[in-house]
Amino acid sequence: MSEANNLIEHIKQAEKICICTHVNPDGDTLGSAVALKLFIEEHFEKKVRVFHTSTLPKVYSFLPKYDETEFVSADNNKEIFDLAIAVDIASVDRFAEAMPIYNNAKFRVNIDHHKTNKGYGDLNIVEGDVCAVGLILCKIFNELNYSVSKDMAIALYTSIMTDTGAFKYENTTPECLRAAAQLVEAGASPNGIYRLCYESKPVNMLKFQTHILNKAKFYCSDKISMTSVTKEDMDKFNATDDFTEGIVEVLRTAKSVEISAILKETKDGFTKVSLRSKTVNLLPIIEDFGGGGHIFSAGCTIKKPISIAYDKLLEKLTNAIG
Ligand SMILES: [Mn+2]
């Protein structure tokens, strides 16, 4: 039996089903989660619950079923499900407070596209070369001849568009573009979804991002660009967690830049790092910090205050650039 058939069998058998998204949710984890929820509800007439563990970015509020997603914390994570499906969750720490829900489920599915995913589920549908979990779902629906509704198409298109940087990263393949075309035929609007995702910033977010970009420093003949976000920066602009989104990609737009990085002070005094690269494999660089992700897009948390983390990371990046 194919993995896709196996998934469908478990959906048919289960009564209580939930879908888990990753901490600091993005367009792929949320788009995939609501698309899968819609798929199960439309085709199997079963109620599906979608869980998130951090504040939902408002930018994705246009997604169908956004309002039905539920916040999970240590206070309400003891429920037992027949089937729990993880979408876009590269490693178990990314479940955050939803970990007990996933662990206690009678059957656990792991659908992901991170090369670093170790296959923590009972059924693992992990394709490291696919641009987004949304595309893995499209392939499953196509393989088994399930129709895609307009709402599903909007969610799946959002997933693929956001994880390919609006179809411009190296993960944009003919397969991904063909799937996107199918989703447009099913009712997703490329211009509409682009504008909702990328041209809907509050003014203070744009001002915050300009400020953080202004702080950027360049090293190794401008091959490395780095910037940092302190609690002070966050407070000054009344910023929410999603305000940093997209900054690290802008830092990579300089012709000379090979690797860009943004460091952010966390609530517990550690440092969250996001990295982007043009040609250098980031995964060995962040290995020591316990990070994960993709070859040209990765992240980690360095358990040090931001000024120390900055110097440690710069040293690693300098060595990698040579
Ligand atoms: Mn993803």
Quote the ligand 1 centre to 236 CA distance (angstroms). Answer: 31
Give tens-digit pLDDT for 69-108: 999 999 999 999 999 999 999 999 999 999 999 999 999 9
What percent of the chain is predicted at pLDDT more than 90? 95
Residue 163 alpha carbon to ligand 1 centre in Å: 6
Q: How many other CB atoms are found less than 10 A from the CB of residue 316?
A: 18
Check if the beta carbon of residue 320 is closer than 8 Å to that of residue 302.
no
Q: Compute the distance from residue 187 Cα to the ligand 1 centre, in Å.
A: 22
| pLDDT for the residue 239 | 95
pTM over 0.95: no
pLDDT at residue 1 in the model? 74
The C-alpha atoms of residue 228 and residue 245 are separated, in whole angstroms, by: 13
Ligand 1 centroid from CA 322, angstroms: 30
132 alpha carbon to ligand 1 midpoint, in Å?
5
Residue 22 Cα to ligand 1 midpoint, Å, equals: 10
Angle between helices 133-143 and 150-163 (to 10 degrees): 140
| Averaged pLDDT for residues 44-60 | 95
Closest CA to 131 of 164, 180, 175: 164
- Mean pLDDT estimate for the chain: 96
Give residue 131 CA to ligand 1 midpoint distance, Å.
7
For residue 293, what pLDDT band results from cuts at 50, 70 and 90?
confident
What's the confidence (pLDDT) of residue 201? Answer: 93
How far does the centroid of ligand 1 lie from the alpha carbon of residue 176, in Å? 13
Q: Give the domains, in start order, of the chain with CATH numbers.
A: 3-198 (3.90.1640.10), 203-321 (3.10.310.30)
